[in-house]
Structure 1
Amino acid sequence: MEIILNDKTYVMPRVKTRMLRRAIEINENTDFNNLKTKDLDGLVDFVVELYGNKFGRDDFYDGLDADKLIDTLNSSINGIVGNLGKKLNEFPNK
Structure 2
Amino acid sequence: MGLELNLYDEKGKKKETYRVDFISARHYRELMRLNSENDQMIDKLHFTDYQMDLVVDYVCTLFGSKFNVDDFYDGVNNENLFEEIVRIISFVNTGGRTPATEEEAEKKRQEKEQQETTTKS
TM superposition score normalised by structure 2: 0.62
Q: Which has the higher contact order (CA 8 A, sep 6+)?
A: 1
Residues 1:19 and 2:27 aligned together:
yes
1:78 to 72, 81, 90: 90
Distance 2:96 2:76 in 1: 27
Instruction: Provide the residue aligned with 1:43 in structure 2.
Output: 55
Alignment partner for residue 69 of structure 2, among 45, 57, 62? 57
Structure 1 pair 54–13 and aligned structure 2 pair: CA distance change class (3 A):
farther
Task: After the TM superposition, list the runs of 4 or more consecutive aligned residues in structure 1 that deviate by more than 4 angstroms.
Answer: none
What is the CA RMSD across the aligned residues, in angstroms? 1.9
Question: In 1, Cα distance between the equivalents of 2:96 and 2:88?
Answer: 13
Question: Alignment identity in percent?
Answer: 27
TM-score, normalised by the number of residues in structure 1? 0.78
Number of residues paired by the alignment? 84
Say if 2:78 is the partner of 1:66.
yes
Q: Which residue is 1:92 aligned to?
A: none
Structure 2 runs not aligned, ≥5 long: 9-13, 98-121
Name the aligned partner's letter for residue 69 of structure 2.
R
Deviation at 1:26, TM superposition (A): 3.2
Any gaps of 5 or more consecutive residues in structure 1? 86-94
Cα deviation for residue 25 of structure 1 reads: 2.9
The CA distance in 2 between the partners of 1:43 and 1:84, in whole Å, is: 18
Mapped contact 2:90–2:96 kept (Cα < 8 A):
no
The equivalent residue for 1:91 is none
Given that 2:5 and 2:18 are in contact with CA atoms closer than 8 Å, whether structure 1 keeps it comes out as: yes
Residue type of the alignment partner of 1:75: R
